[in-house]
Amino acid sequence: MSRFKRVLIILVSAVTALALAVGGLFLWLWNSAGVSTVGKESFGNELAIPPLAQSQVAKDGTRVFDLRMQAGETEFRDGQSTSTWGFNGAYLGPTLRAERGEKVRVRIRNGLDEASTVHWHGMHLPAEMDGGPHQMVEAGGSWSPHWTVDQPAATLWYHPHPHGATEKHVQRGLAGMFILDDERSERLALPKRYGVDDLPVIVQDVTFDGATFDHGRGLMQNAGFLGERTLVNGTLSPYQEVRDELVRLRLLNASTARTYDFGLSDGRAFSLVGTDGGLLERPARMERVQLSPGERAEIVVRMKPGERTVLRSFPQGNYGDAWQRRFNGGGDSFDVLQLRAAERLRPSPALPARLGELEVPAGDDAVRARHFDLERTGINGRPMDMGRVDETVTRGTTEVWTLRSDDGMPHNFHVHDVQFRVLEVNGEAPPPRLRGPKDTVFVPHGTTVKLAMRFDGPADPDSPYMYHCHLLYHEDEGMMGQFVVVEKGQRAGAPAGEAGAPPGEHRH
Ligand SMILES: [Cu+2]
């Protein structure tokens, strides 16, 4: 054999071996990327129900709550203690509850050893009370935001929002529900006994490494952290006894990057009665409701005596291409919560045919259109800058905002202060699950979403509200922008560039 032939054979063998190795590595990555807990959960733990927060009513009628951010230890599994953070406890926080028209004040103390914030997700309130990255609460410090509840009954939530560290603070356990009531919601024949037939369902995904949380991201996971299991209200493998024919689940996706498509394991339909910002006009029957991080849905499930069914998250058809479904969680499935009906169930009244009027604008009176290109590297090509106001909005006006996501990965979009109406998804009327008041909307790759929202103030040219991707890894990386609400003709001020820094002293 000539020397040339020998070299050629060696080269071809080497290239073949390399190709096989790369192919094998890819196959291994592909096969190890998907996650499913369907059929694997034992449902051995009774669901924890976050306590309703205590409050006092001050002389001027203000309802006052106390929240303390603190570090602690949580036993998610017997005998294994995990370091966690929580409000008034080791993990998550109590459920705050207030009525429309009430004045509320929340006295927050930061008992952690680092600065954080508390943001009221979905709440209509003055920008300086919003708890965004400009309202930092130093370690050991306190903050006492107050406002008047001026929006319909809804399932809102609270969580930290420190720029660049939100993912970490939420993952460690800082999150809680904030339920609003109003005259209509109190009158309607909906299940409403908290913890009995009206259940908070806070869903988070986690991975454990021994007793500790493993917050590492997989090789191809550009959506952010995707956990291997789910928790509900901090309970692993949970079950809930149901003693009523109808049970209302207030679903909150408090995961940092994972989108779920919730349904029941036996395929039964349920009634969607509320979205992020409150009740729909009428209940909508469906078998699935998709929730990206930060979104909520209130569903009512009908149970038969003695039966069991499981709240499940199913693989998602609209999530993106095969690559995204595989590596970014769209193909994953989870058995989330088992419902166990008692042998005898209390009869529940039929659901009302009408729930009420939507207060979100239809968009026909919009005075301004804005466009937002959603890219991981920044919105409209610009990464977040604390000292830059991106959009200036006139108080008392309606606007139409168009979102476009086209960079290959899933995103969503959350706007502070307002609830919006989804007008269109890819040029068509939105599906029923998007027809209620919303503050967060899923925008998978290749999607255009059109929203209408009204900015009723108050005006504050110096304090911005945020809009951002609520996949917290993206948000922390800079997929966020700022808007201020001003009086007609007024100009935006200069927000502090860094927390605590006076205007004009921006650090870059
Ligand atoms: Cu994103």
Q: What is the pLDDT of residues 334-358, one digit of tens each?
A: 999 999 999 999 999 999 999 989 9
Average pLDDT over residues 424-448: 97
pLDDT for residue 117: 98
Q: CA-CA distances (angstroms) from residue 78 to 44, 75, 202, 205?
A: 12, 6, 21, 19
State both tokens at 303.
């149970």
Q: Is the pLDDT of residue 319 over 80?
A: yes
Give 102 Cα–ligand 1 centroid separation in angstroms: 35
Q: Is the pLDDT of residue 262 over 90?
A: yes
pLDDT for residue 499: 47
- Which listed CATH number (2.60.40.420, 1.10.3720.10, 3.40.50.12280, 3.40.50.720) goes with 45-183? 2.60.40.420
Whose tokens are 């990464």? That residue is: 383
pLDDT for residue 322: 86
Give 378 Cα–ligand 1 centroid separation in angstroms: 9
Give 94 Cα–ligand 1 centroid separation in angstroms: 28
Answer whether 68's CB lies under 8 Å from 109's CB.
Answer: yes
CA separation for the pair 436, 433 (Å, rounded): 7
Give 374 Cα–ligand 1 centroid separation in angstroms: 7
Give 475 Cα–ligand 1 centroid separation in angstroms: 7
Q: pLDDT-derived band of residue 504, with 50, 70 and 90 as boundaries?
A: very low
Give 241 Cα–ligand 1 centroid separation in angstroms: 37
Q: Is the pLDDT of residue 506 over 60?
A: no
Give 375 Cα–ligand 1 centroid separation in angstroms: 7
State both tokens at 399.
């606007």
Give 172 Cα–ligand 1 centroid separation in angstroms: 20
Instruction: Tell me whether strands 246-253 and 198-206 are parallel, antiparallel or unpaired.
Output: parallel
pLDDT for residue 1: 66
Q: Is the pLDDT of residue 218 over 90?
A: no
| Residue type at position 454 | R
Question: Mean pLDDT, the chain, as a whole number?
Answer: 95
Instruction: Please give the full DSSP string across 406-434, using - where no structure is assigned.
Output: -SSS-EEEEESS--EEEEEETTBPPPGGG
Q: Which of 164, 109, 118, 160 is nearest to 139 (CA)?
A: 109
Give 44 Cα–ligand 1 centroid separation in angstroms: 35
Give 471 Cα–ligand 1 centroid separation in angstroms: 5
**CATH superfamily of the 366-486 domain:** Cupredoxins -  blue copper proteins (2.60.40.420)
**CATH superfamily of the 198-346 domain:** Cupredoxins -  blue copper proteins (2.60.40.420)
Give 205 Cα–ligand 1 centroid separation in angstroms: 17
Give 396 Cα–ligand 1 centroid separation in angstroms: 29
| Percent above pLDDT 90 for the chain | 87
Give 6 Cα–ligand 1 centroid separation in angstroms: 52
Q: How many CB atoms lie within 10 A of CB 58?
A: 11
Predicted structure pTM score: 0.94
Average pLDDT over residues 60-67: 98
Give 453 Cα–ligand 1 centroid separation in angstroms: 21
pLDDT for residue 501: 43
Average pLDDT over residues 478-507: 76
CA separation for the pair 313, 335 (Å, rounded): 7
Answer whether 488's CB lies under 8 Å from 377's CB.
Answer: no
Q: Where do the domains of the chain lie?
A: 45-183, 198-346, 366-486
Give 472 Cα–ligand 1 centroid separation in angstroms: 8
H-type alpha helices, 81-209: 166-171, 183-187
